[in-house]
Structure formats: C-alpha cells, structure tokens
Structure 1
Amino acid sequence: MERIYNFSAGPAVLPEEVLQQARDEMLDWHGSGMSVMEMSHRGKEFMSIAAKAEADLRELAGIPQNYKVLFLSGGASAQFAMVPMNLLRGKKSANYINTGQWSKKAIQEAKKYCTVNVAASSEDANFTYVPPQETWNLDPDAAYLHYTPNETIGGVEFNWVPDLLNGKTDMPLVADISSTFMSRPLDVSRFGLIYAGAQKNVGPAGLCIVIVRDDLLGHTIAGTPTMFDYKIHADNDSMYNTPPTYPMYICGLVLEWLKKRGGLKAMEETNITKANLLYELLDATDFYHCPVAKPDRSRMNVPFTLKNAALDDEFLKQARTRGLIQLKGHRSVGGMRASIYNAMPLEGVKVLVEFMKEFASHHA
C-alpha cells in the first residue's frame, strides 16, 4: 500500500518510522511478551516508558525543574474547565484573548466558574488577525491570562509571547498550544501553565500534556472533582488512575524521533520552509486567497479559498487522485486548509504546491 499525504488538522499525520516501530513492537515490546496496550500502567515495563517520555520531553522543551509534566486524558477540551478550577486561587475573574473557535470554547467553559474578561478579540474581522497587545484591556486583578497561540481552524497564530504588564504582575500566562506544541522552541518559564492535545505534533488522540508551575498546584475551587485536580495527578506522577498508556507510548516514540532530527530548533527551520513554500504560492496568484493577515499566519494550519468556490469539490477530487487528502476547510469557515505539522514531509508540501499550480492553470 502506498502512503498518501495527509493534511488533516487532527488526528494528524505521524512520522512513518514511528508507525513502523510501533508495528514491529505491537505484539512484543522489548522482549516482554506483551503489547504496550496490555501492560499494567504500574508495571516496571510501562513505568520505564512513561519515565523516558517525560525525560525526553523535558530535555527537548527545556522544561524547568519547578514545573510538573502531566499526561492526562480528556483532550485539551477538558482543560477549558480544569484551568479555572485550579488557577482561580480565590479570585473571581480571568482574562481571555479571543482569536478563534478554540478561544471561544475556552471562554464559554470558563464562564461557568468565574467572570471572564475578554481583554481582546479579533471576531470583528472573522478571526483573521491577532489583536496587538497595546489594544488589550486586561483586568489587573484577574487570576490569569489565557490565550490560544495558534487557532487550528482559522490559521491565525501569535508569532510572539505576551508580556504581561512588562513583567509588573505575577498573573500567570496560560496557553492552549495544542497545534504548535513541539514544533519550535518555547521558553516554558514565561508561562504558568501550558497544555496541548497530542494529536497534532506528538502522538495520537486521547492524550493531553499539561506543563504547570508547581506553585500553582493545590488551590482548586470548592467542588472540584478529584480527577480535575492537577495536584492529585502531579503527586501521583500521572498514575492516579489508568492514564492513556498507548498514546503515551507513541508520544515517547515521536519524542525520540524529534531528538534524532536535531530537536525543536531543527524542526522549526523545516516547518518555516514548508510554510513559506505554501504561502509564497498563495501570494503569487489571485486564483487562491489566504484570509489571514500576513504577520499572523500559522505555520501549522494554512487556510485558503479558491477564486471560484464552485470549483472546491473538483479541487478536492483531483487532489485525492494525487494522494493529497483532508484538504477541506473546517465546516465553520469553508474553503481549504492544509495542516502541515512536524510529521508532514517537505516533499508532501512540494507535491501539494505543484498540484495547486496545475489546477490553477487549468481553471484560470
């Protein structure tokens, strides 16, 4: 069977060599006589898998020792509730930046637990830009500031990290980095908490990784379920209950793959090259259009429309015959979207660009 180029926004493409290793180890992991899916999460075999995954993650991302790494279930969406439950710390409000559909979902969930101050929003332009920080109206008494550095659906990305009141506040910065996690270096020390669904750049669906500063643990609101308390998971090394063991294993393999490829700086350089190839084509013709403001374009998720929307179905049909799949845009915005995460090879983007050039020349 020939592999295709999968541009899905998530669950997304995984490195082929990771899939091959998982295949080879499916029935017998390292002579244990068991598949990882069969292992006790408290057995020495799986405990070694979990420990190595965390160690590699800490090394690659440069995670300081005063931060806990949690491997949780529930996806990133569970964090929309867990963040206010854990980080309000007696305060009544939280700041949120609204730059797209995932920001909106986080805001709606947080409203169940606190007053949400939407400090800035780009909804006035259909979420096609990032509001400049000088326009933000932050509540200085809020418990934290939450933002989404990359909006997977709209393809809008912060190319900068917010500087909270020039460092004159201890307000924690919280980020949903699901679609950019491990795609570039990140100074973890600038954040109080970051969280990411794994199914973009580091593994299959079912796993969420939370990185939280340890002084923020242990301050949950009244009535917080045990399973939603970060401290419970931190105190038990993510083993309070049975964690998503197989996704953790695959995540560990992906982290090994990243290390072999030179780490996050090398990955960033490759991702910039891939994104530039696609955006250069979009800007070189009026047949295609990217709605996102140039300074705020995502490296991971590239939305675009065709000049004639009546050609959308034909574009997708012909793309599939070339082995290019999952290019249809999200139902809320339409058009097309190419998600080019870490595991999407440069060759895949080149094939897409060549197809797009040919399609435009035949339908101009």
Structure 2
Amino acid sequence: MKIEKCKTASIILAGFLVISCNVKKDSLDNGSSLKNAYEKDFYIGTALDINQINENDSEVNNLIATQFNAVTAENIMKCEVIHPKWDTYEFDLTDKFVAYGKKNKMFIVGHTLLWHSQLAPFVRKIKSKDSLQLFMTNHINTIAGRYKGKIDGWDVVNEALNEDGTYRKSIFLDLLGEDFLITAFKLAEKAAPDTELYYNDFNIEQPKKRAGAITLLTKIKNSGARIDGVGIQGHWSLDGPPVKEIEESIIAFSKLGLKVMITELDVSVLPNPNKMVGANVEQNFAEDPKMNPYTKGLPDSVQVKLAQRYEDLFKIFIKHKDKISRITFWGVNDGQSWLNNWPIRNRTNHPLLFDRNNKPKLVYEKVLGLKK
C-alpha cells in the first residue's frame, strides 16, 4: 500500500516542539483499538515500567487498558531488582504488576527468570558450580512458584546465543555448561506447571543466529524439558532486517512445534552506530549530536518511512497469524522507550505507535488500518 505524505501539526510543550502526522481526532475515542482489531489473530502486548505499574498517570493507564491485552514486565522481574541478595526477594512491584494484568484481564508475561545481564552483584561473585546451581534452583522455584497460576507465560532464558549461533559466554555457561538451559526449563516447568515457557532472544531472525537457535531449541525439546514458544525480539530499524528473513524465521521456529512471538517490538528511526543490529545491552557509544537528529520532532518523511516499515511487518504477522501468538511492543509510548538511552544515551527516538504525549502516530493508523 502506498502511503501518502501526511500533513503536520506543530505544538510547543514544555519547550519541546512536537511535529506529528495528522491523524483522526477521534482515533482513540471511536472504540477502535489494537487489541480489538487483532483479537482473532494474536495478543497485542506492551511492556510496563514502574510508573505504569503504579498507575501514576491516568491518561497512560487508560491508553494501556484500551489498546493492549497482554503485558510484560519491562525491568522489575530481572534479577538485580527482584532478587538483590541471596536471601532477599523484592515482590512488591511484581505483585502490583500481576494484579494490574489480572484487573485488566490481560495475558501476563514474566520477564525473565534467567539472563546473564542485570544480575544482582552477589550472583556475579559466585565461583562454584554447586553454589550457582543452588542459586538458580532457589531463584526459579521461589519466583515462578510464587506466581504459579497467576503468570501466563515466562521468558525462562533470555539471550543465551552469540551472533554466530554459538553459546554466549556467561557465568551460567562457564560454571554449569550448555545444559544450564535444560535445567532452567525443567525447574520452571516444575515450579509453574500450567504456565507457558519461552526462550527469548534478539537477532534470531538472522540466518546464522537462527540456525543456532534452532539447534538450541531442538536440544531443549529432545531433553524432555517442556518449552512452549520462542520470542523473536523485534528490536529493528527502518532499514532492516529484511522482512524475508523475519518470515523465514517465523516459519522455521513454528516447524519445531513452538508458538512464535514477537516479544520486544520497536523500530529505531535514528542513525545506527557501526551499523550494529540487535539489542546487546553491553554495546554503548559516545554521545554525538549528529546521531540525534530528531530532538525537535519527527519529520513527515520519516513518519512515512516508519509507518511503511510497520505496515510491511504487520502484513507478515497477519499472513502467519496461525503461527504467532503474541506481538508485544517494548514500551507504551516514545518517551518510555529504552532506545532513548541505548546504544547512545540522551537521544530522542520515536520507535513506537504512540508519541510522547500518548497520541497515535501515522504508524498507528496504518497498523490499525490493515484490519479494516
């Protein structure tokens, strides 16, 4: 579908010039929503931050409840937050997150039980195999067990692969070997027997890493451990990856008998340092004004490119709706996006469907329009 150039409207808010493509004034008031439009296809989800979990902003809260029917914990269930010390767990925020999802009748995703990054400091100091095994057992049993029957899906293991498809170096690989993934899934199945269990990673739509993911997923399945799905983190850009590679990956993972999810969808509109791809949080670059061109708003030409990119992606998702169970955006609005501070801090990115004022962008209309 050809997207016509849109008209713009500019307003000044707290010294910030917001330029946005003109959309229907009643686009959020006429009963239409993403979750309703795609209700028969797949869940439409978002990631919640602390302010959203605490319902600090009624406008944002209404937007979430209206547009989405699945929620993922953006950061609060990562080890450094939920399990800061060996014998200390912090459940207050996670309890609120789960209650929020239940109240709004949403599909609730826990993120994540095991990840090499954002570990509590005490974990990094573990030196023995037995101690790390005990940590992993206690961590999964305690957290997954607490939310047994309350959380619908768990990202059990997050980002265990390198770009060439080999196992990523981590404390878990170093001390426990490759089978730490199998152990994690078996522990999660026992602690939360009625919860869907997933492997989640970025760039696994790219050929080499996809092949490694297929080998890893097959090994888990063949071990007798239960794994229900795979999450393709959709941290993409205006220029890539090609939709052909995304489609081939959806098909390949589905052939393993797994549900496929696009779990952390956002599309960066900013220049890409060193042509890097993916979401490796350990990659960071120095601030540079040339890498931050849209501080005063997103030009029409880029709005159109963003809308076209999302439209192309959703056409593939709709085509394979029999294989896909959930599409989750990594954030509610542009202001929340982690891409404002990664891989370069203090940038102004515009990767989502709602702007910093929670208003729908042209891309929202195009994604919604595919179902009209």
Per the normalisation by structure 2, the TM-score is 0.31
Greater RCO structure (CA 8 Å; 6+ sep): 1
Per the normalisation by structure 1, the TM-score is 0.31
